[in-house]
Amino acid sequence: MVISHNCEVEKGLLRVATWPFSIAPMIQIDTLPRGEPKLVRQRKFLRYWGLPEEPPLEDGWAVDFDLLQPTLAATVQEGTRLASIDDDGRKALVFRLVNALSQREIITQ
């Protein structure tokens, strides 16, 4: 998942291949060790942000914030956009990201 404001992605991809972005890998929730899928779906595991289980992510996916890292626009260009999030989704992302990085329930929705 690219963690950035949408217009930054579009501008970066079009202008400069070395424009930096933050990305976090996505993992299928059911591949996590025993007990963790339930916690992710209940939003009780700060490391993961479970995404809505609807097309095109109906197989149950989560973002792994512990593996957040920088990458370049050129790398993002190689990926495939599956979906974008709306304003409510962006707010939820900020809440989850701050809590995951701090490992505390600092802010709530």
Q: What is the amino acid identity at position 108?
A: T
Q: How confident is the model at residue 63 (pLDDT cuts 50, 70, 90)?
A: very high
pLDDT of residue 107: 62
Question: At residue 10, does pLDDT exceed 80?
Answer: no
Q: Is the pLDDT of residue 31 over 60?
A: yes
CB distance 96 to 48 below 8 Å = no
Mean pLDDT, rounded, for 67-95: 85
- How much is the pLDDT for 28? 96
H-type alpha helices, the chain: 6-15, 36-41, 73-77, 87-102
Query: Does position 106 have pLDDT exceeding 90, yes or no?
Result: no
Q: How far apart are CA 2 and CA 62, in angstroms?
A: 13
